[in-house]
């Protein structure tokens, strides 16, 4: 069993009970996009494991499954999924660091520009 099979299991159980994804979202307060990711087996779209486990408990409770049984089933799937290699994790960390640096530089540049416009050292844009 993989994440897709687990998601299919959840959606089948939900459908057997005549519930929609919106029903689950409304009852559990889990965003619809995360319900969809869970049911479609898109593990890469899900948040940290602790959140996923709590989502599964809440989801199972709403549809009438034993929450801990659903969590155990998910943990079997999650253990079978290989962890990302250290190289992949390092690449992702670096990508996030560069994105953060880029955003900080953009905010700094906008701040400097706004300061110069407000202090009168640069003309106001669209001033007529």
Contacts of 48 (CB under 8 A, 6+ apart): none
Task: For 126, list phi and psi in degrees, rounded to 5.
Answer: 60, 20
Mean pLDDT by 10 residues, the chain (128 residues): 93 96 96 96 91 96 96 87 77 94 98 95 80
| Same domain assignment for residues 71 and 24 | yes
Domain with residue 58: its CATH number is 1.10.260.40
Residue-level pLDDT at 13: 96
Residue-level pLDDT at 41: 93
Question: Domain residues for 50?
Answer: 3-80
Report the number of distinct structural domains present in the chain.
Answer: 2
Contacts of 11 (CB under 8 A, 6+ apart): 39
| Same domain assignment for residues 57 and 95 | no
Rounded Cα gap, residues 89 and 48, in angstroms: 15
Q: What angle do CA 36, 40, 41 make, to 5 degrees?
A: 120
Give the helix ranges, DSSP H, for 1-128: 3-16, 21-28, 32-39, 49-63, 67-80, 86-118
| Same domain assignment for residues 72 and 95 | no
């Amino acid at each position: 069993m993989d994440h897709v099979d687990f998601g299919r299991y959840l959606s089948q159980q939900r459908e057997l009970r005549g519930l929609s994804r919106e029903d689950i979202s409304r009852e559990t307060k889990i965003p619809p996009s995360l319900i969809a990711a869970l049911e479609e087996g898109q593990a890469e779209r899900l948040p940290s494991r602790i959140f996923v486990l709590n989502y599964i408990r809440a989801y199972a409770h709403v549809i009438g499954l034993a929450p801990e049984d659903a969590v155990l089933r998910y943990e079997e799937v999650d253990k079978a999924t290989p962890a990302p290699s250290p190289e992949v994790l390092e690449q992702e960390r670096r990508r996030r660091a560069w994105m953060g640096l880029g955003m900080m530089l953009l905010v700094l540049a906008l701040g400097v520009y706004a300061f110069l416009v407000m202090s009168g050292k640069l003309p106001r844009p669209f001033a007529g």
